[in-house]
Structure 1
Amino acid sequence: MAETTAGAAAETGADLPRGFRSAEQGWPELHRIPRPPYRLPLLGDLLGASGSAPLQNAVRRGRQLGPVFRLAAFGREFVFVWGAGVVADMADESRFAKHVGLGVANLRPVAGDGLFTAYNHEPNWQLAHDVLAPGFSREAMAAYHPMMLDVAGRLTDHWDRELAAGRAVDVPGDMTKLTLETMARTGFGHDFDSFERARPHPFVTAMVGALSYAQRLNTVPFPRLMRRAARRNEADIAFLNHTVDELVRARRASSGDGDLLDRMLHTAHPETGERLSDRNVRRQVITFLVAGHETTSGALSFALHYLSRHPEIAARARAEVDAVWGDTAVPGYEQVAKLRYVRRVLDEALRLWPTAPAFAREARCDTVLDGVHPMRRGAWALILTPMLHRDPAAWGPDAERFDPDRFDPKAVRSRPPHVFKPFGTGARACIGRQFALHEATLVLGLLLRRYLLVPDPGYRLRVTERLTLMPDGLRLRLERRAAGAPVPPVPDAQDGPSAPRCPVRGAGD
């Protein structure tokens, strides 16, 4: 389960949005929604579930129970949806809005009313959105591009050293360094020196701690007993706040360069003239540093996993890079968008493993979901994106297979709307979507041009959950490639390259 109940939200100090009702109160005919046949007191439907993988537990249940189902835990009931038609109905902005609950509400002590964690009634969301949206325009993106290239160069220098030493690379760890540095450099003019450190930057350690604590709050019956973990979480939040406060203090003492931080500090709303408060600036910076790099690092990691397991797909993507970029040492901003097949690889990785794996929607008014399920105003449901992205009704009977051609323009036009939602939906969808896609496509192109990716034949994909998803323990060996050189075959992986399956079904890819 990836978002929080009224009780958990209250325990973290979060204010509940007006009209909030728990799932039990907000679904008049809850008994009509399928649930597991056997339940235990207190535990509800958690028998046999993994406390560290609640999202994957819910996905397993969804396969058994259908596109709308309910699960109980610790005396509360939650409604989940994943069917393409139901999700399309919930994408109707006139009837549904973002719901801040579960793990997202648990992050409010960290990010408060930042863009990701603000309740719909809080005014700072619209203010920050309007002030910061120009920071993701085409002109702004082109200005970020040289800094993205510079950080990517630090990654390839690091990988060259690992290759020379005969070591496999830590894909999730290195992608986290890459995306953190990219976000910090482009958005806030800061350098965490991630690639010069033997261990993760303390900011990353504190961030992972805060995300993991928020996740744990959803899976324990008595959060107030987690006193030691709560003290660690308070220390993690204090470190995040201190780091950002120092970053902002340094910027105020210097001249800016028109990045996101400058917009937060100096730009007024174009209509009202209102500015972000110092407290909200801190919350927005933390939001961008955490959410702006955590999900992109996961997307790159999953894409590199699938490319290593599918040498024929990697060869096709590499050939596109050679053809589009040619002998250009430094690809320009416009050249990245021309990597259409590489982008399909990224989209397909996000389809199978959307790194922000769930989002919640609440009813704006009394309504009927999909013409079947009555919902009162404030009732909410959690959309399981990995299941939506695997719905055979939208993606065909081979929906478990990794196939970038699903995102060929003709194939995209043949599918119904609202079946691909890795960045959420509606007015509260991810503001940095184009930033993330440009960065990830650029990095994949650079890595494919430079290296052959050799998988560990014994590796079985495991997915770790800390509100976002990340491959666990993924390491790859590299072979340096001369530009334009023929691509040798990659040794077959243990579970075969042609039919990746979802780990929640007990398989490896």
Structure 2
Amino acid sequence: MRNAWSGHTFPHPSGRRRWMKDAASMDPDRPVQYILEHHRGLGPIFEIVVFGQKFVFVTDAELAAELNDESRFAKANSPALDGLRGIAGDGLFTAYNEEPNWQLAHDLLVPAFTKQAMQRYHPVMAETLDELFAVWDAGDGRIDVSSDMTRLTLETIGRTGFSTPFGSFTTSEVHPFVSAMVTALTLGRRKGVIAALPAARLLERRLDRKHADQLDYVRTFLDDIVAGRRRTGSEGSDDLLGIMLDQAHPETGERLSDENIRYQILTFLVAGHETTSGALSFASYYLVRHPDVLAKAQAETDAILGDDPDATPSYEQVARFRYLRKVLDESLRLWPTAPGYARTPRQTTLLGGRWTMTPDDWALVFLPLVQRDPKVWGEDAEAFDPERPRPRLAGTAKPFGTGERACIGRQFAVHEATMALARILHRYDIAGDPSYALRIDERLTLMPEGMEITLTRRTPSVRTVGAVPSDTPADG
């Protein structure tokens, strides 16, 4: 049994079978939603065993906070992450803690997310939004939110991180890299599910052969980015790619190999656009369903940006959108686009004072339930409320991960999403289809599916210009 937990058995779905175990109680195409619909009553910690692989889920905020203690626990690679290593290798997201390239890449890339670096990215983010607005203004006012947010965030990370435009606003067709990338992510997740099957290696090889063209396209596309930069030399060398190609570790003098740079580019292209586009899409979903929240958010944009609907906030102004930040945070609380992370003990310990964990064991912190724990978030934890009081247990909302392996680009994502939402709401009134029922596409991240909104150009309200609403939260 993989992830054996010293033979301990946790609560599990009924109907366990001798050979398949709990395989029939999971939906491989929508595992997160299936757990929410069918297994949330199993308790604060439960297991789902698929053939010889045990998955231990933690849904209790107190237990999650304990697992987040960096002095006792560290990141573990879940089977889904291991399944991605075939395409993402030892990139920042999929590397094992002990792999030297993780520390090397992390040390090299931290300066790429300083305040000075963010100030360089800010105008590129603004210009990319301008291009999206031009497309919207030329259309009929009805947009597919997730699709357009994906175009926006992919274009933004491509330009800011690698000086590589994707042409997202010059055609209605999705860039082939996006389709190939989604295939790679879905393939990695499926490999994680089948890893414990008796014929896992054979099944994995068949999947690789079936999707070989898409996987080869991803590798070739990324290698061409690196080769193109090497040909042009230092142009744009202050972006992520320039740092990886041109800089050595200040203490050891080590450099990243071209292969590892490919892994890092893929990591940033995926993490840098999938999670942000999901956050913007979920925020849009909740805004159109809560007119009072939408009105308050637009009042804040009017107060900060004034009466010009085309106004672009300065870098410093983005931090002033505190209510909008609350909207984003609350959306990510309910629907974290990265729905969980695995943790393992640094040495044998007791979790919750009851369950022995060795360094060979790991637990999945299941954020959609941890972040809805009524003991921490209140009896209305399922409700969307941007002005929800801070939880009594600090640090229980972790949509960007936790500890030293948390998302290195968190500040980038928050800045980009806040500015994008502020400018959209300042420029447009948005309305959704009342009959739309939230559907979620699960690949490695979560994304609303099939959600359309209608955009109408608006005139900022002069009544709110010049003063931030008095009930705007004092801190972001």
TM-score (structure 1 length as normaliser): 0.86
Does the CA contact (< 8 Å) of 1:456 and 1:475 recur in 2?
yes
Q: Distance in 2 between matches of 1:59 and 1:75?
A: 23
Question: Partner residue of 1:9?
Answer: none
1:170/1:485 Cα in 2 relative to 1: closer, same or farther (>3 Å)?
farther
Who is 1:256 aligned against? Answer: 235
1:430 aligns with 2:407: yes
The corresponding residue for 2:256 is 276
Residues 250-283 of structure 1: per-residue CA shift (max 9 Å, x gap): 2122232311111001111121121111111111
Report the CA distance shift for 1:458/1:92 in structure 2 as closer, same or farther (over 3 A): same
- Residue-by-residue CA offset, 1:87-134 (whole Å, 9 max, x unaligned): 111111122111112211111111101000000110000000000001
Give the fraction of aligned pairs with identical amino acids, expressed as a percent.
Answer: 50
The corresponding residue for 1:3 is none
SS in 2 for 1:404: coil
Q: Is the 8 A contact 2:47 2:54 kept in 1?
A: yes
Q: Is 1:98–2:75 an aligned residue pair?
A: yes
Equivalent residue for 1:13?
none
Q: Which moved more, 1:35-44 or 1:297-306?
A: 35-44
Match of 2:61 in 1: 84
Preserved CA contact (<8 Å) 1:87 1:418: no
Q: Which SS does the other structure have where 2:95 is aligned?
A: coil
1:230 alignment partner, SS class? helix
Structure 1 residue corresponding to 2:368, chosen from 360, 363, 386: 386
Partner of 1:356: 338
- Out of 317, 320, 342, which is 1:335 matched to? 317
| Contact kept in structure 2, 1:29 and 1:373, CA below 8 Å | no
1:10 maps to: none
2:329 is the counterpart of 1:347: yes
Alignment of 1:424-463 (within 5 A): 424-463=401-440
RMSD (CA atoms): 1.8
Cα distance in 1 for partners of 2:52, 2:89 equals 27
Does residue 53 (structure 1) correspond to residue 9 (structure 2)? The answer is: no
Contact 1:84 1:418 in 2 (8 A): no
Task: Look up the equivalent residue of 2:345 and give its one-letter code.
Answer: A
The answer for the alignment partner of 2:297 in structure 1 is: 317
The structural deviation recorded for 1:419 is 0.8
**Counterparts of residues 210-225 of structure 1 (less than 5 Å):** 210-220=184-194, 221=197, 222-223=199-200, 224-225=202-203
CA distance change for structure 1 residues 37 and 380 in 2, over 3 Å: closer, same or farther? Answer: same
On the 8 A contact 1:462/1:471 being kept in 2, the answer is yes
In 1: Cα distance, 2:429 partner to 2:25 partner = 40
Could you tell me which runs of 5 or more consecutive residues in structure 2 were left unpaired when the two chains were aligned. 465-476
1:129 corresponds to 2:106: yes
Q: Distance in 2 between matches of 1:357 and 1:462?
A: 15
Match for residue 218 of structure 2? Answer: 240
Q: Distance in 2 between matches of 1:142 and 1:201?
A: 28
| Cα distance, 1:62–1:372 mapped onto 2, change above 3 Å | farther
Q: How far apart are the structure 2 equivalents of 1:242 and 1:355?
A: 28
The equivalent residue for 1:43 is: 20
The structure 2 residue matched to 1:169, chosen from 140, 143, 164, is 143
Q: Distance in 2 between matches of 1:417 and 1:29?
A: 32
Q: Which residue is 1:28 aligned to?
A: 6
Q: What is the letter of the counterpart of residue 335 of structure 1? A: Q
Name which of 124, 128, 136 aligns with 1:159.
136
- AA matched with 1:343: R
Q: Distance in 2 between matches of 1:99 and 1:122?
A: 13
> Retained in 1: the 8 A contact 2:84–2:94?
yes
| Rounded Cα–Cα distance in structure 2 between residues aligned with 1:423 and 1:74 | 31
User: Quick one: which amino acid aligns to residue 338 of structure 1?
Assistant: R
Give the deviation of 1:330 after TM superposition.
2.1
Q: 1:172-227: per-residue Cα shift (whole Å, max 9, x none)? A: 11111100000000011010101112211011010011111122224455553466
Structure 1 unaligned spans of 5+: 1-20, 488-509
Equivalent residue number for residue 277 of structure 2: 297
Give the Cα separation in 2 of the matches to 1:381 and 1:37: 21
* CA apart distance, 1:29: 5.0
Partner Cα distance (1:273, 1:228) in 2:
41
Answer yes or no: is the 8 Å Cα contact 1:29–1:374 preserved in 2: no
Q: Are the counterparts in 2 of residues 365 and 378 from structure 1 also a CA contact under 8 Å?
A: no
- Partner SS, residue 261 of structure 1: helix
Q: How far apart, CA to CA, are the structure 1 residues paired with 2:105 and 2:322?
A: 32
Q: CA deviation at 1:486?
A: 8.8
- Counting matched residue pairs gives 456
Distance of 2:24 and 2:215 partners within structure 1: 33
Partner of residue 418, structure 1: 395
Answering whether residue 359 of structure 2 is matched by residue 377 of structure 1, we say yes
> How far does residue 485 in structure 1 lie from its aligned partner after superposition?
7.0
* CA shift digits 1:146-197 (9 cap, x unpaired): 00001111111121122xx3x5201111111100000000011010101112
| 1:77 CA drift (Å) | 2.0
Letter in 2 for 1:395: W
Q: Secondary structure at the match of 1:253?
A: helix
Cα shift at 1:46: 3.6
Partner of 2:473: none
- The one-character-per-residue Cα deviations of 1:280-307 (angstroms, maximum 9, x if unpaired) are 1111111111111111111111001111
Could you list the per-position Cα deviations for residues 50-72 of structure 1 after superposition, in whole angstroms to 9, with x for gaps in the alignment?
Answer: 23111222334542111111111
Q: Structure 1 residues 178 and 42, CA, compared in 2 at 3 Å: closer, same or farther?
A: farther
Give the Å deviation of 1:342: 0.4
Are the aligned partners of 2:104 and 2:256 in contact in 1 as well (CA < 8 Å)? yes
State the distance in 1 between where 2:250 and 2:134 align.
43
Note the C-alpha offset of 1:461.
0.2
Name the amino acid aligned to 1:477: T
CA distance in 2, matches of 1:79, 1:362: 11
Paired position in structure 2 for 1:499: none
Q: Is the 8 A contact 2:2 2:52 kept in 1?
A: no
Question: What is the alpha-carbon distance in structure 2 between the residues aligned to residue 357 and residue 448 of structure 1?
Answer: 27
Equivalent position amino acid for 1:173 in 2: S
